[in-house]
Structure 1
Amino acid sequence: MFNFVAKHKRLLQFLLVLFIVPPFAFWGIQSYEGSVTTNRVAEVDGQAISEQEFGEQLKQQQDRMRALLGANFNAAMFDTPEMRARILDSMIAQRLLLKQAVRGNLAITDEQLREVIASTPAFQEGNRFARARYEETLRREGYTPAMFEASLRRDLILQQYTSAMADSGIASKTASKQIAASRAEQRDVSEYMISAATFASKVKIEPQAVQAHYDANRSQFLVPEQIRVEYVVFSSEAMQAFESIGEDEIKSWYESHIDQYQEKEQRQASHILISVKAAASDAEKAKAREKAQSLLEQVRKSPASLGELAKKHSDDPGSASKGGDLGTFSRGMMVKAFEEAAFRLKAGEVSGLVESEFGFHIIRVTGIKPAEGRSLEQVRAEIERELKKQRASRKFAEAAEAFSNLAYEQPDSLKPVAEKYKLAVQTSGWVTRKSAPVQVLNNPRMLAALFTDEAIENRRNTEAMEVSPGTLVSARVVEHRPAASRPIEDVRGDIVRQLTQKEAAALAHKQGSARLEELRKGNARAVQFGPAKTVSRDDPKGVSSESLAAIFRADRAKLPAYAGVGLPNGYLVLRIGKVTDVDIGEAQLKNLQVELGRAAGTQEFQAFLAGLRANAKVEINKALLEKKANP
């Protein structure tokens, strides 16, 4: 049971959104009563995906990518119809898979869920689970514990189900051996490069050729339509700077949330588990008890021997190899019987036999850390930031509609909205239909709005758009440049260089092909090859994919073999002088067989998912989905 954590830590990079798994009692958590909108983005076998759920999924995808990419994050990539459709497809697939998992009676126990949460670094302080940090982290992300735990339970069930299917693929040992041998096969290869640069001086580009290239490729020399814009940014984050939090408010918050700043008593313990199956007979249970009692007597005679006895006899795979060490834990992290026994003991004491749903435990407490609390002074800055954030968020939500209305009602200038909300009117560099030099403008909806006839000809404010959570932007065009072709004289030099490179490469290819033909006819002195190097498909030693393909297409029965590869910068002649078959170890073969099996399992899983989708009744509200992309 205790090794479950290590297998699932990678799942806890914040989960997407609450679906349909019901919440449960965990640390006495309250029930979640979420509001449900009647607008349905889709319906899967009669089960709705609401507009609210879809919006939350989109937001959380953005939040995850923002955390991953930092300053490189671009919210615009999530604001396209294609991305929204992809996210909705993912939600539909999860609904279908979860339905199948529930039918198959797959479940995640409360104990498993506790272990996953308690072992998550984001919820720990000093490598130990801290409930206050857990609840604070969830609160910052907009979750209640019940919401998060229900979402986590759902995702673990899905992971259990999809992993079982994806890992079910089978690759034969014979096929795996053939593929492994092909990948490991080594070939000694020498190279001779005929560079296009050596032919450049022989190339003469006539004026008429330049003109013809210019006429045939005018789109390459087009300067796109451009605009410069003024814009204002209204955000909840900026509003925090104007908030002032009084000492009484900070103290009141601290007192009413004192549990968040208290760390529970921690225990460190080691144990021996003699497991008992759930369906064990009375005789089997009695035999397990007898074994556990015998071990307990040995531990009581020599408490320090518990570690060695755990390595030899404990049925807990997660702790046995570590001498039964379970690390530190607080109340609520272990099953009830184990917890009650561990928290009754003093440091160094050994329990009697403790019976739980897993079997019989022998517990020795090896350390105790008393409960600790952080003082008001220690958390003052943290509380002040939280209160400012909450207050600014409320005011932003209240003011967002008024901000949007003012930008719309006074469309000829951004000054009124800037003055009312104490915002700076900023000016961008040149903006095209595809991109903007300012992140808040680099949004497909915003760019589309700025390039409408009304925005360009009438210089009207755009509507206020939410370009990221808690950030509204309105902009107006102040300068416009139509699309235009660059004069031929401005690009003549570039064209001459392009045509020269192309002609020089053609001459290099011609010479290379001739040399290759001589080599194949037996004239080994046609070129002077460089030193040989040994390459394989697994270890190409920097050889390009085109060259590697040519090397391994060469007939190994006729050595030396020759091959040629035409490249943009010349022609590469290759000499394959030796082929070596490499023995494949059993471990390597087994790893490849597993890899190929997983690839096959993944294909089977995709086919299975496609079958579920084909047999399900899925209805998508395209109008609402498009509305979300173009509100």
Structure 2
Amino acid sequence: QDRLRQALGDSFRPELMNTPAARLAVLNSLVDQRLLLLEAAKAGLGASDEALREVIGKIPALQENGQFSMARYQSALAAQGMSQAQFEAQIRQDLTLQELVSAIGDTGIAAASETGRILAIQSEERQVAEFRIAPGQFAGQVRIDEPEMRKFYDDNSKRFEIAEQARVEYVVLSLDALVGQTAVKDADLQAWYDSHRDRYQQGEERRASHILILMPSGDSEQAKARARAEELLDELRKSPERFADLARKHSQDPGSAARGGDLGVVARGTMVKPFEDAVFSLRENELSDLVQSEFGYHIIMVTGIRPGKQRSFAEVRPEIEAELKRQAAQRRFAEDAEAFSNIVYEQPDSLQPAAERFKLKLQTSDWLPRNPTPAAMAGLGQLGNAKALAAIFSDDSIRNKRNTEAIEVAPNTLLAARVVEHRPASVRPFETVKADIEAALKAQGEAALARSAGEARLAELRQGSADPLSWTPVRKLSRQDARQLPPAAAEAIFSADVQKLPAYVGAEAADA
């Protein structure tokens, strides 16, 4: 339900989860997920610690000033009622499933003869020398008169359009800004801690390693798997110091085998019950008996024990302060949002009253395009919002210079704007673009002359005329190297008939 609530937001309805169809769908999903994880284990797939750290470190909600914040991480876990081990186990599982899907998608089947042909093509190399005819060699040979430029201007008027633009003043009411303005008394922090001490108890955690022999289907195969696990257990009882080595060689858990079976820190509630019971019943460096779970047979060793403890007030104070500030700011934002919306609507000729009442900065934008490209939209900050731009460029906003309504441009963020200056769409005058047009037409003409000269020289070479050209030094070129060339050049080189050498081909360079 937590994941659905995050995905659906306000549309989430918990009562829909309490239907037979919904419960069956959830059960089927869990079964499918379990089967996929078993297949991933058989295929030797799993998420590394490095991948796990990278994913968690990139979660925006856990960052502060662009950097991962452990305080935010712990606060978020506390708010969700999860331990660090539980959350990381969930992320690791998701990454493993993604790896399995990717592995399946990248898999193909081909006949041996076809595979051999493909490999031969991929490993093919050509020895190549180049001679370039650059457009710059024809500089000064192209003359462009004004009628040509006028015709180009008239035929391509859209190239010289200036989009409709507006400059606005605007104010932003946001929850984040209110959090920064909110103060919490020390007594309130202490009272919260005293009444929520259970939330700040750190349960006992253990570092564990295991060797897993997967549970196959069929009684006879299961018996063989158990016998293999018992052999490994006997060997470890004689030489427990070989645990990591044997785990690397024999464990069928792809997530831990390469690390000598190390699972990292394990908290209660993060593993299947038989496994968890065994982990929390062992002493440090003690070897378990054979433990059977739905995954197979485990041999477990606890390599470290971190006793549970009550986190001190000083330790958790930043988390409590952040939580209480946000709670207070959330209540204030709910009240202010309605009042903010009302004041920008009821006093439509100025945003100054809203700025003064809510102590907001009245900001002024640069020129905003009506229909920015995605890249330009990203550079507009809070004004880079389709709904906000639609309101800014509405007839009422442009003609009457009235405030827009309060617009939610991000979660818990309201923006209102007012147009202070407007430029309608127009076409740049010919005289202002004349030089650009002349340069473009000259470049086209020079490129055409270079192309014609190249085609003529290529025809001469193919007919066997003398070769007085200054070629570049010969170099080997593989198909991998050819990816750096324009596609037309790579295709020409590797499709050339090499039965008779030298073979001459031509192609237009990327910088021509």
TM > 0.5: yes
| Partner SS for 2:183 | coil
The 1:251/1:501 distance shift into structure 2, 3 A limit, reads same
- In the TM superposition, 1:441-590 aligns within 5 A as 441-540=383-482, 542-567=484-509, 570=512
Separation (CA, whole Å) in 1 of partners of 2:503 and 2:26: 56
Would you say the 8 A contact 2:169–2:364 is kept in 1? yes
Instruction: Tell me what 2:43 maps to.
Output: none
The 1:373/1:197 distance shift into structure 2, 3 A limit, reads farther
- Check if 1:183 corresponds to 2:122: yes
Would you say the 8 A contact 1:203–1:504 is kept in 2? yes
Would you say the 8 A contact 2:127–2:474 is kept in 1? yes
Would you say the 8 A contact 2:149–2:438 is kept in 1? yes
Worse overlay, 204-213 or 457-466: 204-213
Q: By how many angstroms is 1:554 displaced? A: 1.8
Q: Supply the AA of the counterpart residue of 1:35.
A: R
Would you say the 8 A contact 2:48–2:255 is kept in 1? no
| Partner SS for 1:509 | helix
The 1:168/1:455 distance shift into structure 2, 3 A limit, reads same
Instruction: Tell me what 2:321 maps to.
Output: 384
Q: By how many angstroms is 1:551 displaced? A: 1.4
- Check if 1:405 corresponds to 2:342: yes
The 1:198/1:397 distance shift into structure 2, 3 A limit, reads same
Separation (CA, whole Å) in 2 of partners of 1:557 and 1:209: 48
Would you say the 8 A contact 2:125–2:478 is kept in 1? yes
| Partner SS for 2:417 | strand
Unaligned stretches of 5+ residues in structure 1: 1-13, 21-32, 39-46, 49-97, 125-130, 571-631
Q: Supply the AA of the counterpart residue of 2:173.
A: F
Would you say the 8 A contact 1:19–1:154 is kept in 2? no
Instruction: Tell me what 2:364 maps to.
Output: 427
Instruction: Tell me what 2:149 maps to.
Output: 210
Worse overlay, 265-274 or 524-533: 265-274
Instruction: Tell me what 2:66 maps to.
Output: none
Instruction: Tell me what 2:32 maps to.
Output: 106
| Partner SS for 2:166 | strand
- In the TM superposition, 1:245-394 aligns within 5 A as 245-272=184-211, 280=219, 299-300=236-237, 302-307=239-244, 324-358=261-295, 361-394=298-331
The 1:439/1:37 distance shift into structure 2, 3 A limit, reads farther
Instruction: Tell me what 1:232 maps to.
Output: 171
Q: Supply the AA of the counterpart residue of 1:386.
A: E
Number of residue pairs aligned between Structure 1 and Structure 2: 477
Separation (CA, whole Å) in 1 of partners of 2:245 and 2:166: 75
Alignment deviations for residues 191-244 of structure 1 (CA, whole Å, 9 cap, x no partner): 111111121112222222222222222222232222211111111111112211
Could you tell me the TM-score, scaled by structure 2's length?
Answer: 0.77
Q: Supply the AA of the counterpart residue of 1:409.
A: E
Would you say the 8 A contact 2:166–2:369 is kept in 1? yes
Instruction: Tell me what 1:220 maps to.
Output: 159
Out of 171, 174, 185, the residue aligned to residue 113 of structure 2 is 174
Q: Percent identity?
A: 45
CA RMSD of aligned residues (A): 4.5
Q: Supply the AA of the counterpart residue of 2:111.
A: S
Worse overlay, 523-532 or 239-248: 523-532
Would you say the 8 A contact 1:123–1:133 is kept in 2? no
Would you say the 8 A contact 1:222–1:486 is kept in 2? yes
Alignment deviations for residues 489-526 of structure 1 (CA, whole Å, 9 cap, x no partner): 22221111111111111111121111111111112414
Separation (CA, whole Å) in 2 of partners of 1:180 and 1:525: 35
Alignment deviations for residues 68-100 of structure 1 (CA, whole Å, 9 cap, x no partner): xxxxxxxxxxxxxxxxxxxxxxxxxxxxxx979
Would you say the 8 A contact 2:216–2:225 is kept in 1? no
Separation (CA, whole Å) in 2 of partners of 1:355 and 1:107: 20
Alignment deviations for residues 447-485 of structure 1 (CA, whole Å, 9 cap, x no partner): 222222211111111111111111111111111222333
Alignment deviations for residues 109-150 of structure 1 (CA, whole Å, 9 cap, x no partner): 89989xx999754779xxxxxx9987743576xx6769x99x
| Partner SS for 2:482 | coil
Q: Supply the AA of the counterpart residue of 1:417.
A: A
The 1:477/1:15 distance shift into structure 2, 3 A limit, reads same
Out of 138, 141, 145, the residue aligned to residue 199 of structure 1 is 138
| Partner SS for 1:240 | helix
Q: By how many angstroms is 1:549 displaced? A: 1.8
Separation (CA, whole Å) in 2 of partners of 1:134 and 1:367: 24
The 1:449/1:306 distance shift into structure 2, 3 A limit, reads closer
